[in-house]
Structure 1
């Protein structure tokens, strides 16, 4: 059995592969945070039917949801430097593209990908809130911005939290594709560690277990957050009664 799977090597490789955890988490957190902002803007554009921007948003969502994330990573990794070189040539700027870390291109690809999916999630959550609450806020002199910030969005967050949490967990798992752009996240380090001794199976199993443990932790965290929000909501309803 040792010839097929070396348990001791798998255990020894855990620290080296686990060094990719902060990189994977940083990609997920930073890109997802940017994706939420993109998704919120896209949702509001679609809800309020803003001319031109609505059509642009529709094309953006269709493209990002209709193409593989790996392709989007490659477009970002190779395309952005080409665009920046063209800008240098056209305007005589001197941006040093060679010193831009590859992870920045990953942030862009993942943020745009998350934004496309979150646009529909956030839009559905906002539309689920009774429009009468928005009209009531107008009646007491609130602006649309104040109504959204104080009344609609907090309630929409409670409605959309399960789906948003699932999107985040899915994005964390998708960070395994970042190794295609030479970013040393969990999967990238597993490939390097396994390649040194040809113990690829052990390295990939360790990577899988690390992703699994992290996702279990995130699922528990999301469940606790949902439970706390429900408890707070029940507390507010009891106070009203």
Structure 2
């Protein structure tokens, strides 16, 4: 009788596949931090309509949301070295770790999505908040930083959390750039033994466990943020 699962093999493969966890988490955190900065900048550019730059921001968002992430990874993986070679910025492109190109691709991708989330959250804050800030002598940057953005971020937290979870799962595509994250390690070990099903089940369970922990952490942040907002209102 054919055995569906080789349980012992699955258990033995966990340490090897788990080696990719730090890589997956590093991609997630780096891309999310830089993506959030990009997203905020693009959101403000679109809200305040800076001549010339706003059109570029709209084009950027449209391109990143309208093309597959896997294509964007390939563009970064092959395009950035080509650009560096043309500009003579880096003499030995092969010495640059592939994960840096992955950081760029994921940061730009999540930045486009977060820009829309942040833009809608900022616009949902009552205009009277700005007027109140101006009435007490605040500048626009001060009003944004101290009054508007805290409220906007609180409202956007659920969507931001969803983007973080999606980003974590999307890191499984980094293996196409030879980055040994969770899926990359899974493919390596599966290629050696041809026991693909067991290995991918283990990878799926690892992703699931990490996502559950992230969801718990994000829900705690959301709860504390809303509690703080309720006390301040």
Determine if the TM-score, normalized by the shorter chain, exceeds 0.5: yes
Q: Give the equivalent residue in structure 2 for 1:34.
A: 34
Query: Could you tell me whether the CA contact under 8 Å between 2:84 and 2:90 is conserved in 1?
Result: no
Q: Give the equivalent residue in structure 1 for 2:46.
A: 46
Query: Which ranges of structure 2 fall in alignment gaps of 5 or more residues?
Result: none
> What are the superposed Cα offsets for residues 88-147 of structure 1, whole Å, 9 maximum, x if unpaired?
1xxxx5532111000000000000001110110000010111110111111111111111
> What are the superposed Cα offsets for residues 160-181 of structure 1, whole Å, 9 maximum, x if unpaired?
0100010010000000000000
Q: Give the equivalent residue in structure 1 for 2:12.
A: 12
Query: Could you tell me whether the CA contact under 8 Å between 2:20 and 2:181 is conserved in 1?
Result: yes
1:205-224 map, 5 Å = 205-224=201-220
Kindly report the root-mean-square deviation, in angstroms, between the aligned alpha carbons of the 2 structures. Answer: 1.1
What is the aligned length? 233
1:119-198 map, 5 Å = 119-198=115-194
How far 1:230 sits from its partner (Å)? 1.7
Runs of 4+ residues over 3 Å off in structure 1:
1-4
Q: Give the equivalent residue in structure 2 for 1:204.
A: 200
Q: Give the equivalent residue in structure 1 for 2:94.
A: 98
Q: 1:220 to 1:2 in 2, by over 3 A?
A: farther
TM-score by length of 2: 0.97
Query: Could you tell me whether the CA contact under 8 Å between 2:183 and 2:203 is conserved in 1?
Result: yes
Instruction: State the SS of the aligned residue for 2:5.
Output: coil
Aligned with residue 232 of structure 2, among 225, 228, 236: 236
How far 1:2 sits from its partner (Å)? 6.0
How far apart, in 1, do the equivalents of 2:141 and 2:219 lie? Answer: 30
How far 1:182 sits from its partner (Å)? 0.2
Correspondence 1:70 to 2:70: yes
Query: Which ranges of structure 1 fall in alignment gaps of 5 or more residues?
Result: none
TM-score by length of 1: 0.94
